[in-house]
Amino acid sequence: MKFKLLHIYFLRVCAFTFLILNSAFLISQDIHFSNWQMSPLNLNPANAGMFEGDGRLIFNYRNQWKQVPVTYNTFSFAADMNLNKSLIKGTKEAMGFIFNTDISGDGSYTITDIKIPINHKFSFKKDSNLTVALGLLAGITNLNITSSRLSYDRQWDGDAYNQALSNGENFNKQSKLFADVSLGAIVQKKFNQKFKATIGYAASHLNRPNISFNNTPGAVLRIKHTESLQLKYSFNQVTAFMFEYYGNQQQKFRENLMGFSYYHTIEPRTNTVFNFGILTRLKDALITTVGLEHNNMRLQVSYDYNYSQFKRATNGRGGFEISLIYIWATKKVFVPKTRVCPIYM
């Protein structure tokens, strides 16, 4: 009876969370991945080690607004692994590594991240289908701009742009290095063989680092709140649907992404699964995804069709994205608990 009440309570929490998050709307575009579930460590540090296996490699690449003269390119590499020995009794730990680089604008404004996520997973004897994970992420970020690639009004000689003319600007510093800290939590519940729910929350930039090249007071990176929700229902051993929601907010700027994905198992013995999805970034873009999973490897691509007011510049062409995840696991050797003397066999 207690477990039944727990299930009902958990569903109500998920539904309530979704309704609250859906009440906000997108009023700005920030660095992000449309394949958000294919970049789990960037999403939430509590996702480190949240997979079946020993280790995982993750690659993400995004090319955004190619139709616009100034494109945006984002690359991410991440790796995480489950530790064999627990640091805290009653938990399972995992650690990871993240390297991100994002280049945008005429001045090649570059953001480079190197971060380490650490995760503690808690399981419960009374309910083995419930997992709670707490994650910590710490690292450094470098901001850099190439001022020589910029152009200025003072370099107009009356007839044409002349790069040889002085721009009248003085860039004392073109690089900035700062520390960054984040926290996150994940609750995952498998209600039965058909239905599984995962809900997460993360808070980034908790130390509110100063991002000004000249350390201007007040020019700090505000705390970013990230929420995620996945509800997956398997009709049988072949087909499954998943509702996905991802949202983040930084001060008054908000992004909401939601939609559905369909999964079809082609070959159960090799875990070959085809999937496609239709999602939307509210008031911004329609997103289509196509993916294929085979054994321990998963590949997924997506494309954003922009329908916001920025469509006039992009002609509806948003961003192309490709993601790859590879999981490896050491084969476990079966060792019988008891041995039979060969004499009596």
The domains located in the chain, with CATH, are: 2-332 (2.40.160.40)
Q: pTM for the full model?
A: 0.82
CB 324 within 8 A of CB 294: no
Whose CA is closest to 314, among 107, 63, 111, 32? 63
Q: Give the 3-state secondary structure percentages of the chain, helix then strand then coil, rounded to 5.
A: 15, 50, 35
CB 275 within 8 A of CB 262: yes
CB 41 within 8 A of CB 98: yes
| CA distance linking residue 176 with residue 272, whole number of Å | 45
The pLDDT score that the predictor gives to residue 82 is: 94
The pLDDT score that the predictor gives to residue 174 is: 82
> How far is Cα of residue 265 from the mean position of the Cα atoms in its chain?
25
Split the chain (345 residues) into runs of 10 and give each run's mean pLDDT: 44 40 36 86 95 94 74 92 82 93 85 95 86 96 84 75 72 87 96 94 95 88 95 95 94 92 95 96 92 96 85 70 94 61 58
If phi over 0 gives left and psi between -120 and 50 gives alpha, with beta otherwise, what is residue 151? beta
Q: Is 271 exposed, middle or buried (0-12, 13-18, 19+ CB in 10 A)?
A: middle
251-256 — which CB contacts under 8 Å span 24+ positions? 251/222, 252/27, 253/27, 253/28, 253/30, 254/24, 254/25, 254/26, 254/27, 254/28, 255/26, 255/28, 255/29, 255/30, 255/32, 255/281, 255/284, 256/21, 256/22, 256/24, 256/25, 256/26, 256/281, 256/282
- Through-space distance between the first and last CA atoms of the chain, rounded to whole angstroms: 48
Secondary structure (3-state) at 277: strand
The pLDDT score that the predictor gives to residue 313 is: 61
The pLDDT score that the predictor gives to residue 51 is: 92
The pLDDT score that the predictor gives to residue 318 is: 73
Tell me the residue type at 103. I
The pLDDT score that the predictor gives to residue 297 is: 96
Secondary structure (3-state) at 127: coil
